[in-house]
A and B are shown apart, each in its own frame.
Chain A
Amino acid sequence: MIEILALALTIILVIISAAYAQKFGIGKEISLAGTRALVQIMILASIILILFEKPLFWSFLVLIAMAAIAGNTTYSRSGKLDRVLSVSIISIAAASLLLLIPFFLMGIFPLEARYIVPTGSILIGNAMNVSSLAIDRYKGEIKNRRSEVEAYLALGAKPELAAAACLRQGILSALIPSIDNMKNLGIVWIPGVMTGMLLGGADPMEAASIQIAIFTSIFAAGMIASSLMLHYSTDSFFTKAAQLREDLE
């Protein structure tokens, strides 16, 4: 009964928002985006429902598929540089898995699809966001600081050393939103996991503890994924003769 009411509320809100947004000429986009979100989330719910009945292997397979899609999104953000597709998929998958394991190893969550898939997807999604921001900024820094990078190369520095300051700036810029979110956690906003648990009737202390554990894991996964990604994608900006590529768009 609750799900029918929630879906009905969603449909009403999409219709009202789209009607109002028509004034700004974006009514069609709002209705399309709202419908798409509704359909996607219902498909996801159905997949999770199916996963409950399947062996755990399937849950990890779904997470790998998510990491592949996330990696492809980050790859597109890089301007489709050589090698960046595989580097971004592996970085996002490795960082997310690394931060997912402790939740089950320490017994915070039971090893079930119900916990593996949502927790993994939060980690993957955030690692993707941070990595996309990081590669975008890294590329921008290298392009804007071409003279500085080439001044390092002209002294005989290897590309990793020549681009080190750009890499640091890329990671720092990508992490600023996460750092700001962490600073304001619980003051400006109650994050999703805690909200969901409270709505589901959980004890506030339990909800807060799990939330902060997930939040710090999200931060760490983003930091590790973006660091790995930028580090291993540095060669893509240079030729084999350690020249800064001239065709960076």
Chain B
Amino acid sequence: MNHLELKKVSKAVFRKVNDTRARTQILSSLDLQVNKGELVTIMGASGSGKSTLLRLINRLSETDSGIILLNGNDIKSHVPMELRRKIGMVFQIPVVFKGSVRDNLVFGIKLWEGNTGIEALSRDTGIPEELLDADASQLSIGEKQRVCIARALAIQPEILLLDEPTSSLDALAAEKVEKLLLGLQKERDMTILWVTHEKEQAARIGGRRLILRDGRLEDYHD
């Protein structure tokens, strides 16, 4: 049984064109199977629907048709909040919550009454211990993204969706975050779907490479 499976998933979005909302079909009968512990990179041009695809998987958006299965069960049979606890997500632009770094990391743990240790988590995600009590809004963008990754990992998701997590970072910070995520994936045998628009990054990351073209996923070969 696949860990995650998408069958004939379609989605249209409304985009503003000259002050009117135009309907654009971005995913058309898309299929995808992902095994447990697999790393899948998804490439595609801007506006091709990469982010939308991830949002459908943790139900931040709704499919128009098709079915998404998690461990063989339709994701619509899950309570949405519980589904999102199982399928974590890191967004392109890091958004930290008001308060300290520790407040951010503790949020999900308290919400789900988890037992993730903050110190171990910050060490695994490369957040220096002295930063834990710093105001999260004052961090650099690279540090904020680390906080967002740690915050997503704190609730111990089965699957991690990464929506261009390094695109807003400079080359050095991006490389660090990349290494960090790959290390965590190996260490925790985590299923990861990693969206990127950079072919070079996809090649560095490795795993199975797919490209989103005309609303469907195809294998990508150099």
Residues 112 to 157 of chain A near chain B (Cβ within 8 Å): 147-148, 150-157
Contact A241 B84 (CB under 8 A): no
- Choose from B61, B62, B93, B108 the contact partner of A155 (Cβ within 8 Å): B108
Does B82 have its Cβ within 8 Å of any Cβ on chain A?
Answer: yes
Residues of B close to A241: CB separation below 8 A = 59, 62, 76, 80
Residues 9 to 36 of chain B near chain A (Cβ within 8 Å): 13-14
- Choose from A156, A158, A246, A247 the contact partner of B112 (Cβ within 8 Å): A156
Residues of B close to A161: CB separation below 8 A = 111
Residues of A close to B98: CB separation below 8 A = 165
Q: State the CA gap A246–B55 with chains docked (Å).
A: 13
Q: State the CA gap A238–B44 with chains docked (Å).
A: 29
Q: State the CA gap A161–B81 with chains docked (Å).
A: 12
Q: State the CA gap A243–B63 with chains docked (Å).
A: 12
Q: State the CA gap A233–B117 with chains docked (Å).
A: 37
Residues of B close to A158: CB separation below 8 A = 81
Contact A156 B84 (CB under 8 A): yes
Residues of A close to B149: CB separation below 8 A = none
Contact B59 A243 (CB under 8 A): yes
Q: State the CA gap A151–B59 with chains docked (Å).
A: 13
Residues of B close to A154: CB separation below 8 A = 58, 60, 84, 88-89, 91, 152
Main secondary structure, interface of B, reads mixed
Does B209 have its Cβ within 8 Å of any Cβ on chain A?
Answer: no
Does A184 have its Cβ within 8 Å of any Cβ on chain B?
Answer: no
Q: State the CA gap A244–B14 with chains docked (Å).
A: 15
Cβ contacts A to B, 10 pairs, < 8 Å: A147-B93, A152-B97, A153-B60, A155-B151, A155-B152, A156-B82, A157-B81, A157-B111, A243-B60, A243-B62
Q: State the CA gap A87–B29 with chains docked (Å).
A: 41
Count A-B pairs with CB separation below 8 Å: 61
Beyond known contacts A154-B152, A165-B98: 4 more, CB 8 A cutoff: A151-B95, A154-B89, A242-B81, A243-B80
Q: State the CA gap A156–B151 with chains docked (Å).
A: 12
Contact B61 A243 (CB under 8 A): yes
Does A239 have its Cβ within 8 Å of any Cβ on chain B?
Answer: yes
Q: Which 5 A-B pairs have the closest CB atoms?
A: A156-B85, A242-B80, A154-B89, A156-B84, A156-B81
Size band of the interface chain A makes with B = 20 to 34
Residues of A close to B95: CB separation below 8 A = 147-148, 151
Q: State the CA gap A241–B107 with chains docked (Å).
A: 21
Q: State the CA gap A247–B14 with chains docked (Å).
A: 9
- Choose from B85, B88, B91, B111 the contact partner of A147 (Cβ within 8 Å): B91
Does B155 have its Cβ within 8 Å of any Cβ on chain A?
Answer: yes
- Choose from B14, B62, B152 the contact partner of A239 (Cβ within 8 Å): B62
Residues of A close to B88: CB separation below 8 A = 154-155
Residues of B close to A239: CB separation below 8 A = 62
Contact status of A156 and B155, CB under 8 A, knowing A243-B59, A243-B60, A243-B62: yes
- Contact indicator per residue, chain A 45-60, by CB within 8 Å of chain B (1) or not (0): 0000000000000000
Residues 56 to 112 of chain A near chain B (Cβ within 8 Å): none
Nearest CB to that of A242 among chain B residues?
A: B80
B148–chain A nearest beta-carbon distance, Å: 8
Residues of A close to B148: CB separation below 8 A = 151
Contact A148 B97 (CB under 8 A): yes
Contact B82 A155 (CB under 8 A): no
B169–chain A nearest beta-carbon distance, Å: 17
Contact A246 B80 (CB under 8 A): no
Q: State the CA gap A154–B59 with chains docked (Å).
A: 9
Q: State the CA gap A243–B88 with chains docked (Å).
A: 15
Residues of A close to B93: CB separation below 8 A = 147
Residues of A close to B82: CB separation below 8 A = 156
- Contact indicator per residue, chain A 150-173, by CB within 8 Å of chain B (1) or not (0): 111111111001000100000000
